[in-house]
Amino acid sequence: MTVMETLTEAADNGTDICSVPPGRHPRPDGQDSYTISEVVAFTGLTAHTLRWYERIGLMPHVDRSHTGQRRYCNADLDWLDLVGKLRLTGMPVADMVRYAELVRAGDHTYGERYELLEATRRDVLARIAELRDTLAVLDRKIDFYGDAGRALASERPR
């Protein structure tokens, strides 16, 4: 059975294709070995990106089959989950690589990892606050267009 068919089947069996965002982790198996295209299906990343992550040191060296094809394990998927989360905080890839290096380096880097995560946490809190601010602005504008939609706009571009 091809990956294509596996995916199609999974989608068809579900009651609602959209119940899970397109191309995100169902991670179905009780197994611990996945081809790159399965990982693509679970993570929503492209195979290109997965190989690129490996090249730049954002992924540990992934296991290979006897013919050299990548075989990802569940721990790899967990790591990619974390990377995905960090990515959408806006953390630069270089910083994530830094973190990966710390993890690789061993237990004596606990302190540094803690610092890095704490700093990231602060960034996330700050970004949430910014977004809330923006939300308030949007709500005001939306009200304006919704309710008083007929009054003349006072926005800049003439």
Structure tokens at 93: 């890839």
Residue of 39, 35, 37 whose CA lies nearest to 24: 39
Interface residue with DNA among 18, 55, 88, 132 (CB under 7 A) is 55
| Nearest-angstrom CA–CA distance, 96 and 144 | 42
Among DNA, a second copy, none, the one that 145 touches (CB under a kind-dependent 5 to 8 A) is a second copy
The answer to whether residues 66 and 26 touch, using CB atoms and an 8 Å cutoff, is no
Q: Which is nearer to DNA, 93 or 109 (CB)?
A: 93
Binding mask 73-112 for DNA (x = CB under 7 A): --------------x----xxx------------------
Q: How far apart are CA 88 and CA 127, in angstroms?
A: 11
103 interacts with a second copy by CB under 8 A: yes
The contact mask relative to a second copy for 58-97 (x = CB under 8 A, - = no) is -xx--------------xx-xx--x--xx-xx--------
Give the whole-angstrom CA distance, residue 112 versus residue 118. 10
Structural element, H or E, at residue 117? helix 110-146
69 binds DNA (CB under 7 A): yes
Binding residues (CB under 7 A) for DNA: these are 1-5, 35-38, 46-49, 51-52, 55, 64-70, 87, 92-94
